[in-house]
Amino acid sequence: MRRLVILFSSCALLLPGAARSAACSPLDCGPSQVVVSGGTLLAYRSASHGPVSVADLRSGESLFSLPWGFVYGKVLVHQEGNRIEWYDAMTGKKTAQRALPWKIRLAGASQDGSRAVAFRAKTLVELVTPTSVREVPLPTGSWDFDALRGNHLVLIQLRGGGYQVRLVDLAHRTSQTKLLKDPHESGTIWGQAWSRLSSADGRYVFTLYLASNGAAMVHELDLVTAKARCIDLPGTGDYGSGTSWGMVLAPDRRTLWLASPGYGRVVGIDIRTRKIVDAFRISLSYWNLGNPTRTAVSPDGTQLALTDGETVAKIDLHLRRVVGRTPAAHAVALGYSPGTGELRALR
């Protein structure tokens, strides 16, 4: 049986701020967490634009704190005035920086963290490395950043209260955009980006969108093939229950697990076929829907752990039921030790 180890840090649990109007990057959809260094480290924060703490999941030791920023792989990208800084999320050390002569808004980075993505104006994107800057002009409109891998720059365009996912092929000098859409959908996304997750290899980006009626769907973006798909999740009619969805990618990188204590649902999505391949009901009474659900998966892929900042629940994916619930006041992150399988709750 896995033990639950409670760790303490100086972070206090805060409610997420106003949701962004477009898709967001990992560690930018509100309080969230990202596994670093193959699962040995956990980067997390307790406020949407707060500092990022890094803990060692093997020893349970809190290692260091980094400034607010976007974490991709083992790199954190941070903006300080008109200067962009790169940090090694495994050591906490700043590795590079580049000052720009213009006022910018850092919007994210490439999937490996090597290229920062910043907006200099509403229709002007700067792709910045420590040694170079590439300018990408955009058509007239309201734009935000979604993802970048190789020559695939994916942007969000706000249109009529919703938004569309559009692709810029950086292999060409022109900045024409192409709509990326599910062939069975209209191409316009409604609702708000609630949480965000990337696969460890940077190929897939999963964004959980939440509608005002509590309905939710997962937008799966394949950055290699430049294809997007939408997968609807069960449950509707209660916004608070919709906000309780948490998601995590299984260790085999084939199944995306999602759990909603509010709706009492667990769903498994095959990321290759983009279909729900497993679904069952759970019961977690008195779940605090005012706090975001943090989610972790065991190294062997057999167990999910969830926390609402007050308790930690364990779900056995083979038995398809809740197998335990433990008090864990002010827990802000969860992770399993890759060596022992111990579940650690950080607070």
Kindly state the DSSP code that residue 242 receives in the 8-state scheme: H
| pLDDT value of position 20 | 41
| pLDDT value of position 22 | 55
Task: Give CA–CA dist 38/74, Å, rounded.
Answer: 9
| pLDDT value of position 43 | 94
What separation, in Å, do the N-terminal and C-terminal C-alpha atoms of the chain show?
A: 23
3-state SS class at 145: strand
Task: Give CA–CA dist 239/232, Å, rounded.
Answer: 15
Pair of tokens at residue 54: 């890094």
Task: Give CA–CA dist 197/295, Å, rounded.
Answer: 11
- Of 306, 315, 232, nearest to 281 by C-alpha is 315
Give the burial string for 21-56 (b: 16+ CB within 10 Å, else e): ebbbbbbbbbbbbbbbbebbbbbbbbbbebebbbbb
Do the strands 343-346 and 4-7 form a parallel or antiparallel pair, or are they unpaired? Answer: parallel
Task: Give CA–CA dist 4/303, Å, rounded.
Answer: 13
Kindly state the DSSP code that residue 19 receives in the 8-state scheme: P
At residue 148's C-alpha, the angle toward residues 163 and 22, to 5°, is: 25
* pLDDT digit string (tens) for the chain, length 347 residues: 344 444 433 222 222 333 344 566 666 676 588 998 788 999 998 877 889 999 999 988 899 999 999 999 899 999 999 999 999 999 999 999 999 999 999 999 999 999 999 999 889 999 999 999 999 999 998 999 999 999 999 999 988 778 889 999 999 877 788 998 878 777 788 888 899 999 989 999 999 999 999 999 999 999 999 999 999 999 999 999 999 999 999 999 999 999 999 999 999 999 999 999 999 999 999 999 988 899 999 999 999 999 999 999 999 999 999 999 999 988 989 999 998 899 999 87
Give me the amino acid identity at 150: G
Backbone φ and ψ for 242, nearest 5 degrees, come out as -65, -35
| pLDDT value of position 23 | 60
Instruction: Give me the CATH code for the 4-346 domain, please.
Output: 2.130.10
| pLDDT value of position 52 | 93
DSSP H or E stretch at residue 335: strand 333-336
Task: Give CA–CA dist 172/167, Å, rounded.
Answer: 12
C-alpha pair distances (Å), 8 with each of 33, 63, 122, 333, 338:
16, 12, 42, 11, 20
Task: Give CA–CA dist 193/171, Å, rounded.
Answer: 29
Task: Give CA–CA dist 284/180, Å, rounded.
Answer: 37
Each domain of the chain, given as residue ranges in start order, spans 4-346
* 129, 100 Cβ separation under 8 angstroms: no
State the residue for tokens 């569309």. 164
- Of 191, 167, 186, nearest to 177 by C-alpha is 167
State the residue for tokens 């976007």. 70
Taking the C-alpha atoms of 246, 250, 253 and 255 in order, what is their torsion angle to the nearest 10 degrees?
Answer: -70
